[in-house]
Chains A and B, each alone.
Chain A
């Protein structure tokens, strides 16, 4: 009997915890409300299945518990029941998979008007690069990296000269404009993760990865590294400032380009 009470309590407790828990995702700040919606659908379907299965099991344990004189039924197979359950399960799975794949198609298709921003990670800090007036990021190679060229840009590439370099500081982005994040790492795997944006992606040395999103509200959002990258993993943080267009432009004007950076470092001691 205790078992039946325990099983019912597990279901009731889990549902109550879900409904009353203060631990929930932070308010969304990007266009990926679709992801939240798919997640909610999944919560509903799986929650109903969990409650049904466990409560049905609790009923069986109560109804068919051993009592003197009780005999079990001999019941090897039931083709109709087994086929029916298989079909119902397949439909439930399809109901979760279909919206998931549709949203994924959206997720992997970067809109043509997306601005490009490069995220550059190393143990254990975040830097960024934005194209200048030409709208193009210049080429880069890790073999060119030194103290005067912290992101390893190609000094002979004209597209690189006006690239804006934000070294180990906050990233600023304008609200409401889609942005393609181009990700590069110098040393180990990292992962660019801002919980409010919902999207995340690994940075892999030796290759360039990407994802896209549109910031939908202004504010300061924390970047957390989400792929184990050594002992500094938990302190590898940064901030994204989402601003109105005018504030963003004002910030952008104050940043150094690659050409300016090279000038100041060669003029130095």
Chain B
């Protein structure tokens, strides 16, 4: 184990392999479009994810209008279920997963570990184009007869492929499943790349226990995704066979609208097990990169080393491993054997311990820090509030018997939006404000950033905190209309209207954020190479934005961890990872 210390390791290990220069672009097309440079691929991934995310944002507005103002806006149940399904699927898979791993992963891994590029640049390029194809297939489902699937983002059979569900007997569900299959193929190409680059592409001196937590988060999430997505892959293939070829993997004998169908012998519960064997790790595939990134943001902007680095690394690994044995806590009332409840409630609550350690260590990093309330720091604070809130309501839903009354109600919707919607989004925003100067060489406009922060933080909390109580009152999720249910006071309608207004405002301010991204690229204040005076390697590149190949002729050599801030006696309040201070390096 490496000692955590401010003393650099002056023994620089010898280079094990010769420096390899990544392939050079020969034309405009191979530089900008079919680029094999991870930095361009990262921007392509992020741009596509944000574009499709905008569709999901508009869908959420439409569904909120229906819930908030049922007298003014009335969509058919078909349309409503299509909105919620596509909103959920896009946000979880095509936005959050893609932007954390394809976006931040691609941009940051090579720069932060001191590599020139990903180890397989061509496969990396292919990964993006297959992702784009998956997005296009998804978008196409909006334009086919019957529209996109309205099966809910969980796509539970039998209803997902039956006629009572929008898109069930039309092309909607087929395109959805094909798109997911493509996404997983594309992700696997990218994911192998990220994992191999972290394991094999690190520069001299960059030991695993010196990597920034951002890389630990992205790396662990990638390994998890490589293990979890295959479960979704087979579930999609089997469901596609059930729909197209008449197999009965998930279809028992059933009678639909008085007609007996040709299916028989399959089990709908098996699909749920496969789906959640992917679906629960997926929560952490999104959360772990966020955990890692926010650790680095807090450390840099509080000018203090991350507290308990080694514990943080082990917590990330522990959470990653545990998240594979908790999946059936999504199925407490699914009809699976009730004794599973004892096991899955226990594992689920155990995972709260490493998660709590992470929260403590973020806050203890602020303790006796020198807290600069920059935009990345503001979003990090907002992340902690929303994550702690959403994490704690997870203790309700994970504790099997408490889940029984709350399961399938709006409480669940509020919980997962808080913990895997808002919390990771806060980190994404913070991370964009933090790394935008590295990517473009300019700062994002601060005034617009402040408006963006305050409206998003306060507004989003006002959306999702009260929503828990709607669920507690007994409103089931996925209800396009409430009807006149006697025990629900009329005021639920009032609260719903309030939430809708908040959602419209919070959504609108995201448009301003996107405008800021475009405007500042040209008009933002010039940033210089290291505006935050950060210690990790990506801020030490010879050029900003980093040029092709990232580094000059010599690869950087790393002498210390990424968290040497405010070291007593140091000339500045940070020491870059490739700075051998106070010693001189001893070359082998």
Contact = CB atoms under 8 A, between A and B. Distances in A.
Contacts of B402: 35, 38-39, 42, 100
Given A39-B402, A72-B304, A228 B77 contact: no
A106 B65 CA distance: 42
Contacts of A186: 254-256
A252 interface: no
A73 B364 CA distance: 11
Contacts, number: 329
B485 interface: yes
Given A61-B381, A72-B566, A142 B253 contact: yes
A234 B479 contact: yes
A66 B373 CA distance: 8
Contact of A76 (B168, B305, B373, B487): B305
Contact of A53 (B266, B363, B566, B568): B363
B304 A75 contact: yes
A22 B335 contact: no
Interface in A18-56: 21-26, 32, 34-35, 38-39, 42, 45-46, 49-50, 53-54, 56
A72 B357 contact: no
User: Range of interface residues on chain A?
Assistant: 35 or more
Nearest to B403: A100
Interface string B478-509: 11111101110101100100000000000000
B139 interface: no
Given A143-B260, A224-B485, A231-B150, A74 B305 contact: yes
Interface string B161-200: 0101110100000000000000000000000000000000
Given A23-B492, A70-B370, A77-B310, A227 B408 contact: yes
A17 B498 CA distance: 14
Contacts of A246: none
A189 interface: yes
Interface stretch (A158-166, A197-205, A257-265): A197-205
B551 interface: no
A58 to B, nearest CB: 9
A207 to B, nearest CB: 6
Interface string A190-221: 01010110111111111101000000000000
Contact of A61 (B373, B566, B573): B373
A188 B57 CA distance: 30
Interface in A64-87: 64-66, 70-78, 81-82, 85-86
B452 to A, nearest CB: 15
Given A72-B566, A85-B357, A61 B366 contact: yes
Interface stretch (A89-97, A111-119, A128-136, A167-175): A89-97
A200 to B, nearest CB: 6
A226 interface: yes
Contact of A66 (B81, B371, B478): B371
A21 B466 CA distance: 9
Contacts of B457: 6
A86 B404 contact: no
A25 B474 contact: yes
Given A65-B371, A142-B255, A73 B349 contact: no
Contacts of B409: 226
A104 B162 contact: no
B476 A187 contact: no
Contact of A57 (B158, B349, B384): B384
B370 A66 contact: yes
For B369, B401, B487, the residue with the greatest tally of chain A CB atoms inside 10 Å of its CB is B401
User: Range of interface residues on chain B?
Assistant: 35 or more
B227 interface: no
Contacts of A152: 255
B267 interface: yes
Given A89-B352, A202-B333, A224-B485, A60 B165 contact: no
A198 B166 CA distance: 31
B224 to A, nearest CB: 23
Contacts of B305: 74-76
A30 B356 CA distance: 35
B370 A64 contact: yes
Contacts of B396: 39, 42, 46
A35 B483 contact: no
A200 B404 contact: yes
Given A42-B402, A186-B254, A234 B487 contact: no
A222 B473 CA distance: 13
A223 to B, nearest CB: 11
A107 interface: yes
A267 interface: no
B360 interface: yes
B9 interface: no
A42 B152 CA distance: 29
A207 B378 contact: no
A231 B165 contact: yes
Contacts of B277: none
Contacts of B346: 97, 101
Contacts of A17: 465-466, 469
B491 A22 contact: yes
Contacts of B487: 26, 195-196, 222
B269 A204 contact: yes
Interface in B453-485: 457-458, 461, 465-466, 469-470, 472-474, 476, 478-483, 485
A148 interface: no
B345 interface: yes
Given A35-B401, A233-B479, A202 B335 contact: yes
Contact of B405 (A71, A200, A227): A200
Interface string B553-567: 000000000010111
B254 A97 contact: no
A239 B370 CA distance: 61
Contacts of A228: 81, 151-152, 156, 159, 478
Nearest to B408: A226
Contact of A204 (B257, B268, B388, B400): B268
Given A72-B369, A143-B260, 7 more contacts: A23-B470, A24-B469, A35-B405, A54-B385, A77-B4, A203-B335, A233-B81
21 contacts: A3-B378, A22-B491, A38-B399, A53-B384, A57-B381, A64-B302, A64-B367, A64-B370, A66-B370, A66-B372, A71-B566, A72-B302, A73-B566, A75-B304, A76-B309, A81-B364, A82-B361, A195-B473, A201-B335, A207-B335, A226-B476
Question: 4 tightest A-B contacts by CB?
Answer: A206-B252, A230-B164, A195-B474, A209-B335
